[in-house]
Structure 1
């Protein structure tokens, strides 16, 4: 196994954080999780992933402050040791407001397993969407202010430096290949967005928490978290350049009870969002076009036969659509219709948990089916196993990965 040397600045930052916690905090909490994960692919009959992950959190409390540091370590047999810090922020608690400064993961919206208004934090897509939801969402350096007035919360977020989503390496089993004449193209990494004031991102949200319903309205001015094709230089092979572009978003969410069930609604509009309109050629060429896009969700959560259930319908529409539009190497659809379904039930004094989560895309028909079992060996020690099945038309979001269906097992130790 190859190991990266830990940079001195990382050690200094860790020691400094620990010193502050020790000297100034009135109380210190330390918790985390160690996981060993093994995945076997059916198509290749091989163990595609064997990874160990260490995720721990240090929390220090002062009289009106809190410090949170969440380092992560990922290890595997065929990849270098990866060190990271998912979150590292300070909270300041005022009479009617809270201020959070530092690297933080920010969660918006009511969707489960989908990102509609939840666009503040970029995503780690190196394992598609199979990673734990906490691990998919990346932290961003931000200043977030929450002001409280009666049942209302006013939230403002400023992100001075843009952080994009992390996409799979070109050799990864989760990498998307360009279609047609661009399949053999050399794809250049997108240029970093300069850390300048005019390149910062801003978001705002108004939330209301009521006895019968909770609702929120939000908006933002941001960059696309994933790059788009900005230029194609003909040649053998062609050369593809990428970049990130600006757009404005606005949306809202609502959750309320309907009898014993919970109804969740969410919608967002993305205005003047840039897309690549690609002509395959010969020679291939691209024009960047701005389009409005809408996504909406309706979800229902309920209990039946002592099982927890959830169903969602996600609708998408792209204005002024044309057949040349592409996103992440795949054609963009004018309409999209996706359903999700989840059922979860516990047995044997809540020590055994059975779960099924399914995505179904209707045009073309394809799906991701994820049954799993988890067994609590003792307090804080969990053994898990499951299957991730990609089925259906290969032109679909999930059917594209039908050769990547896998079985997996993991053991987690929480401390």
Structure 2
């Protein structure tokens, strides 16, 4: 998780590419959408001479499923800067339509939310994309989609696609950590390598706490606050778009990948003269490897963040370049008990220039090195119907922590219950995890699938 905590009210609800995908789907068939959260790479070829509307059941030209969920969460202690003592209180209905017409796969996934925290009814389109092959080696996905890659477990280096940290920190289901993008993705399959290219015509930033659910520490005022800082997202087409690439291969059992990205820092950390925040330009390069090692799976990932707007590192209003490293290992310790550890470090570049630029500035200069140790414990019983989980973050550099305990009980294929918490703490009020200490919360969710 990145260390900045800047506010943004939410993801865009549609977009240019989503509209283009809708037109393409209407030309191809009666519904639109896409596959799941980064999975489902299969592209089966339907026969052109077959009945495109033939269905085995239901008589509809598409499949329909979804869920209804009740979710609520409350702070474990008082937070005087927030109006409410709860940060999750919503009823959510999700509908997913998916199908196939000739060589086109489509999917539409949309949520309707009655939200007592925001005191509103809203709709959210999470997926609206169409997938199709071009020739024998190239597959395309166009439209609103959730994108992800990299090897980290709830830590990200080369995955610079948008994240919804507000959902993550308040107790929504883990699928909502990944925010959708309006994008075009092409995957080319070679004999030895696979190349993924993703073009997002208009930059999609992260979703950070906006003051309605979570407070944050304002380094300019030196106080905890729930007020949103003025921020502007780059939104010019096409100069404010993003381009991401991944080149991957296998050597024996090892999965190896290289990454490149051109766009912006996911959170607004560049301050303009008038105090308004915006997103600094970013070029990123990295690599990863994952392979069997002993009884488990080991992974390593590196990345370099080139801060295009401040390559000298002497502008305190703009983030410095960074080098990042992640090492991880996961194995089954005993039957049904999985254990995972990660070590992650951020290394600020040009640090001497940064220290000089902070003379006379507020006393919250970032450290040159920030490291995090994570641990995941997952214990499942009763044929995975009862799953206990604990994920912990601890930063030795910042001396702060974040614990994510949860338990899920699946009554049937349709009905499940989840209880959990987001618990924060630390020695200094301004560090990343410690700033949310009074936002610590417990939550519960009841979900019925259909």
* Contact 2:215–2:225, Cα closer than 8 Å, also in 1: no
User: Residue in 2 aligned with 1:251?
Assistant: 286
In 1, the alpha carbon distance for the partners of 2:331 and 2:126 equals 33
User: Residue in 2 aligned with 1:3?
Assistant: none
CA shift, 1:179, in A, is 3.5
Among 136, 142, 145, the residue aligned to 1:101? 142
Among 89, 97, 103, the residue aligned to 2:129? 89
In 1, the alpha carbon distance for the partners of 2:333 and 2:202 equals 46
> Secondary structure in 1 aligned to 2:67?
strand
CA shift, 1:31, in A, is 2.2
Question: What RMSD in Å do the two structures reach over aligned CA positions?
Answer: 3.3
For 1:297-336, what per-residue CA distance to the aligned partner results, in whole angstroms no more than 9, with x for missing partners? 00001001211111111111011123467xxx97433101
* Contact 2:52–2:102, Cα closer than 8 Å, also in 1: no
User: Residue in 2 aligned with 1:54?
Assistant: 93
In 2, the alpha carbon distance for the partners of 1:352 and 1:290 equals 44
Q: TM-score under structure 1 normalisation?
A: 0.84
In 1, the alpha carbon distance for the partners of 2:247 and 2:230 equals 37
Greater percentage in strand: 1
User: Residue in 1 aligned with 2:214?
Assistant: 173
User: Residue in 2 aligned with 1:381?
Assistant: 415
For 1:47-71, what per-residue CA distance to the aligned partner results, in whole angstroms no more than 9, with x for missing partners? 4421122233211113321111111
Pair 1:245–1:48, CA change in 2 (3 A): closer
Pair 1:184–1:340, CA change in 2 (3 A): closer
> Secondary structure in 1 aligned to 2:239?
helix
In 1, the alpha carbon distance for the partners of 2:236 and 2:306 equals 23
> Secondary structure in 1 aligned to 2:148?
coil
> Secondary structure in 1 aligned to 2:218?
coil
For 1:257-294, what per-residue CA distance to the aligned partner results, in whole angstroms no more than 9, with x for missing partners? 012210011111111255799x9xxxxxx854463201
CA shift, 1:181, in A, is 6.6
User: Residue in 2 aligned with 1:122?
Assistant: 162
User: Residue in 2 aligned with 1:351?
Assistant: 385
* Contact 2:127–2:145, Cα closer than 8 Å, also in 1: yes
Unmatched runs of 5 consecutive residues or more in structure 1? 1-5, 234-239, 280-285
Pair 1:25–1:204, CA change in 2 (3 A): farther
Once structures 1 and 2 are overlaid, which stretch shifts more, 121-130 or 173-182? 173-182
User: Residue in 2 aligned with 1:21?
Assistant: 31
Structure with the larger RCO, 1 or 2 (CA within 8 Å, 6+ apart): 2
* Contact 1:206–1:216, Cα closer than 8 Å, also in 2: yes
User: Residue in 2 aligned with 1:269?
Assistant: 304
Residue 364 (structure 1) aligned with residue 398 (structure 2):
yes
CA shift, 1:387, in A, is 2.6
> Secondary structure in 1 aligned to 2:304?
strand
In 2, the alpha carbon distance for the partners of 1:172 and 1:47 equals 8
User: Residue in 2 aligned with 1:145?
Assistant: 186
In 2, the alpha carbon distance for the partners of 1:332 and 1:100 equals 40
Unmatched runs of 5 consecutive residues or more in structure 2? 1-12, 33-50, 55-60, 80-84
User: Residue in 2 aligned with 1:77?
Assistant: 116
Q: TM-score under structure 2 normalisation?
A: 0.78
In 1, the alpha carbon distance for the partners of 2:311 and 2:432 equals 18
For 1:18-54, what per-residue CA distance to the aligned partner results, in whole angstroms no more than 9, with x for missing partners? 9713996655222223221111212129444211222
CA shift, 1:176, in A, is 4.1
In 2, the alpha carbon distance for the partners of 1:47 and 1:192 equals 29
